[in-house]
Chains A and B, each alone.
Chain A
Amino acid sequence: MAIEVRIPTILRNLTDGQKAVEGKGGTLDELFGDLDARHPGLRDRLVDDKGLRKFVNVYLNDEDVRFLGGLTAEVSDGDSVTILPAVAGG
């Protein structure tokens, strides 16, 4: 088992067009590091020196990780992570 990570259209040039990739790690930060080893450049599109980039939303099992500790949020096998750009509603 691994952690499934859903990739938005806009970042699929970094995952050979794959809609979802798998990775491992104990925290979101470790997971992104693991993904970056196979998909170089991915981490940089999600994270800057202040943490998650402003217009990037990451959901762990449908919950916004900014309310779960951000990059330090704990993840484990079987979890599902969804990455989406921030969009307007209303």
Chain B
Amino acid sequence: MRFDSLLDSLGRTPLVGLPRLSPGGDVRLWAKLEDRNPTGSVKDRPAFYMIEKAEKDGLLTPGCTILEPTSGNTGISLAMVAKLRGYRMVCVMPENTSAERRQLLEMWGAEIISSPAAGGSNEAVRVAKRLAAENPSWVMLYQYGNEANALAHYETTGPEILADLPTVTHFVAGLGTTGTLMGVGRYLREQVPDVKIVAAEPRYGELVYGLRNIDEGFIPELYDDSVLTTRFSVGSKDALRRTRELLEQEGIFAGISTGGALHAALGMARKAVAAGERADIVFVVADGGWKYLSTGAYGGTLEEAEARLEGQLWA
């Protein structure tokens, strides 16, 4: 495959079967390898769409500063595109994220403003909104409420999955900004009768939920629960266990949030087997494991790895 530039190579990622982890027979699991994108994560799709849209709308002009609250991957994607297009990039990132994310952001020239660990990404959103108000010339693309985020998946990820697997019955992905699930979910619902759209939401340690009061909670503006069939909360132990199974049984070296999606996918597979129904279950490999090596997720016992992840944002 030949492309004019790195950005032109975005998307069209492989969909690979999981012969060992699938229950077999009529129930099969498929991994959409989104780590095979230019900066190594699914976020390259929404980042590119959001920047293109902002340029088209005249919001972004050469020399502009882009501001974004991000736990890492979106910031990394935006920083890469910003570098190529000549924008300054400022990320607000919770301090309890992996060292590699910070290193990658700096490598692509982004400036990082740390937000407090307690409250997780909620705090990053709050700090970014304050900075946006203080710096009216900065452009906050705001992945949580930017329709271009979901549109990227509606126009690219969804059609790719259906073209590669017309018999798809389930789509499972991690729930963060909700962009992947909203975009792919809406597309597949239009095309595939009775398709099931399943969210796997990371459940972190207590620190992340340490808000001052419940009304400080946050729901992304993009979220529409009518798109989903159901939503699971996956703790770090289950996510780690599945991440390791994916590595050991299928050879796929994925990030920890992928283990969460796989856990939900396997749950749906079990239900299909019990009901005697056929199923082709697609789940998203949001990124590779490289950015999480320093967290100790892949070494030692599960309990040790879980303890090391306590209080960290792993998705």
Pair A88/B233 contact, Cβ less than 8 Å = no
Pair A85/B209 contact, Cβ less than 8 Å = yes
Pair B210/A63 contact, Cβ less than 8 Å = no
Pair B233/A64 contact, Cβ less than 8 Å = yes
Q: Is A23 on the interface with B (CB-CB < 8 A)? A: no
Name the residue in A56, A66, A90 with the highest tally of chain B Cβ atoms < 10 Å from its Cβ: A90
Pair B209/A62 contact, Cβ less than 8 Å = no
- Interface hit among B10-18, B99-107, B224-232: B224-232
- Interface hit among B80-88, B117-125, B162-170, B244-252: B117-125
The distance from the CB of A39 to the nearest CB of chain B, in whole angstroms, is 15
Among residues of A, the one whose C-beta sits closest to the C-beta of B73 is A90
Among residues of B, the one whose C-beta sits closest to the C-beta of A64 is B231
- Known contacts A10-B211, A10-B213, A66-B225; A86/B219 CB under 8 A: yes
- Known contacts A54-B219, A88-B125; A67/B231 CB under 8 A: yes
Among residues of B, the one whose C-beta sits closest to the C-beta of A68 is B230
Pair A55/B218 contact, Cβ less than 8 Å = yes
* Chain B residues whose C-beta falls within 8 Å of the C-beta of A11 in the assembled complex: 214
Once bound together, how far apart are the Cα atoms of A66 and B227, in whole Å? 13
Pair B232/A87 contact, Cβ less than 8 Å = no
Pair A55/B215 contact, Cβ less than 8 Å = yes
Residues facing A in B200-258 (CB within 8 A) are 201-204, 206, 208-220, 225, 228-235
Pair A88/B230 contact, Cβ less than 8 Å = no
Pair B234/A87 contact, Cβ less than 8 Å = no
Total interface residues on B, CB under 8 Å, equals 47
The distance from the CB of A88 to the nearest CB of chain B, in whole angstroms, is 4
Pair B233/A89 contact, Cβ less than 8 Å = no
Once bound together, how far apart are the Cα atoms of A8 and B212, in whole Å? 12
* Chain B residues whose C-beta falls within 8 Å of the C-beta of A53 in the assembled complex: 214
Residue among A9, A67, A90 making CB contact with B144, cutoff 8 Å: A90
Interface SS of B by simple majority: mixed
Pair A82/B233 contact, Cβ less than 8 Å = yes
Give per-residue flags for A53-90: 1 if the beta carbon is below 8 A from chain B beta carbons, else 0.
11111010011101110000000000000101111111
* Chain B residues whose C-beta falls within 8 Å of the C-beta of A10 in the assembled complex: 209-214
Q: Is B143 on the interface with A (CB-CB < 8 A)? A: yes
Pair B203/A84 contact, Cβ less than 8 Å = yes
Pair A88/B211 contact, Cβ less than 8 Å = no
Q: Is B110 on the interface with A (CB-CB < 8 A)? A: no
Q: Is B175 on the interface with A (CB-CB < 8 A)? A: yes
- Known contacts A10-B209, A86-B217, A90-B144; A63/B230 CB under 8 A: yes
21 pairs across A/B with beta carbons < 8 Å?
A9-B206, A9-B210, A11-B214, A55-B215, A55-B218, A62-B235, A64-B230, A64-B231, A66-B225, A67-B231, A68-B230, A87-B120, A88-B69, A88-B122, A88-B124, A89-B121, A89-B177, A90-B74, A90-B143, A90-B176, A90-B177
| 8 nearest A-B residue pairs (beta carbon) | A89-B176, A55-B217, A88-B121, A86-B217, A90-B177, A64-B231, A90-B176, A67-B230
Q: Which residues of A contact B (CB under 8 A)?
A: 8-11, 45, 53-57, 59, 62-64, 66-68, 82, 84-90
17 extra A-B contacts, CB within 8 A, seeds A67-B230, A88-B124, A89-B201: A8-B206, A10-B211, A59-B233, A63-B233, A64-B230, A66-B231, A67-B225, A84-B203, A86-B218, A86-B219, A87-B121, A87-B209, A87-B217, A89-B177, A89-B315, A90-B70, A90-B177
